[in-house]
Amino acid sequence: MRRAALPWRRRAVGAAFVALAGAAFALPVACAPTPTASCDLERLRHYPLAMAVENRALPLRLPDVFFPDPAGRDPGLDRDSLDAAGAAKLRAALERGLAGFRPGERPVLMLAAFDHWTAQGAGLKGFFVLPEGVFLDDVLETLDGAGLSEHAALVREGAALFGPRYGTQAERYARWSDGGGEIRDPALDAALDRLAERFRALPRPLDEAVRRVERSPDLAASYETLRAGTDADDRLRFLTGGLWRCLDHYGTPPAVAARLAALPTAHGRIIVTEIFQAEMLNGSVHQFFFNSSGGLAPDVADALDAMDLPGHAAAVRRGIAKFPSPFPRDLNTRRAFMARQDKAFDDALYELTGDVDDGKMQEAMVGIAREADILPR
């Protein structure tokens, strides 16, 4: 049985929750993440101002979670299918959230929030079919006010694909997909993909947000204080975010192994441990083995041993022992094997979660990053 969430875990899950919120929706393969091939380890040594801006905007990305109805009249939203009433509640939550910031800071935070909504997975396509699409008018007002006319034009072009009425989020999603991975309107899907590609070619809205901060002495001073005061966990999160793209563990096992071998030892140990921890926090150790991440299981066990976490390493190896030898690093092979197993097999992998869910991996990653002098400054 899984342990109750510990304070460290609630903090870590809070950081991961926003990034994974879109997982509540069934996104077809067309919306799968597309990791980049760039890997600049030197850049990862510096914690940028942009991260302070992103962190400051984080509550606005899920306003219904961070700014609920103060009267307590709304028990929550069905984010899987927003109707007009749900959209109105979500927009009201955003309005409550923005009201808590200085007027001159609000466009900065909206640009950062919009950047996050369009930088994940499906990009601009996801914005239109997921809950964030209810903020269309707020986004257009922000883009127009920031002088980002090309961005605004593409957003308007995307909205027009759904017709003059635009429709509710539930209607837009249902027109696009059946929710089970099948595209209902291939022409719409293709048009949204083309639009998303054009949008990716433009400068990121976050870049303009940072420029606005830098141009304002008051904002620059405030955000530098935030940047300099960022704790070790957030600095590690920036490092692992970059290393995640470096490793790109969604590829073939030989390609992933080659990329892992090319990383310095400390970087490699940190990223395989972070991938394991992220899957465990988002779901369980069973989820880790079921997803692409599971191909890294032997590397995770070795990394945990090297970080003086023998109990955690042993838990991973108990999971590995449930599979044939040699361990199937290939995703399809591993999933085919798992599909043939019984409930006892699944339960055994789930139960390993309690053996590693104690915060010690996070502490170890911060420690090794400091020891190797790679924790971003």
Quick: pLDDT tens for 151-194: 999 999 999 999 999 999 999 999 999 988 899 999 999 999 99
pLDDT digits (tens, 9 = 90+) for 222-255: 999 999 999 999 999 999 999 999 999 999 999 9
Check: CB of residue 129 under 8 Å from CB of residue 24.
no
Alpha-carbon Rg for the chain in angstroms: 22
- The pLDDT value recorded for residue 76 is 67
Residue 21 has pLDDT above 50, yes or no: no
Residue 92 has pLDDT above 50, yes or no: yes
pLDDT digits (tens, 9 = 90+) for 49-68: 999 999 999 999 999 999 99
pTM of whole model > 0.85? no
- The pLDDT value recorded for residue 81 is 78
- The pLDDT value recorded for residue 369 is 98
- The pLDDT value recorded for residue 181 is 83
- Dihedral pair phi/psi, residue 183, rounded to 5°: -80, 125
Question: Which residue, 123, 155, 117, 112, is CA-closest to 33?
Answer: 123
Q: Mean pLDDT in the chain? A: 91
**Stretch 280-307: mean pLDDT, rounded?**
98
Alpha-carbon span 252 to 231, nearest angstrom: 35
**Domain residue spans of the chain:** 48-228, 232-371
pLDDT digits (tens, 9 = 90+) for 295-321: 999 999 999 999 999 999 999 999 999
Q: Where does the pLDDT of residue 18 fall: very low under 50, low under 70, confident under 90, or very high at 90 and above?
A: very low
Check: CB of residue 64 under 8 Å from CB of residue 77.
yes
**Stretch 339-357: mean pLDDT, rounded?**
98
Residue with tokens 């510990």: 6
Q: Which residues contact 104 (CB under 8 A, 6 or more apart)?
A: 216, 218, 219
**Regarding predicted confidence, which is higher, 70 or 157?**
157
**Regarding predicted confidence, which is higher, 11 or 67?**
67
Question: Which residue, 119, 67, 113, is CA-closest to 93?
Answer: 67
- The pLDDT value recorded for residue 135 is 98
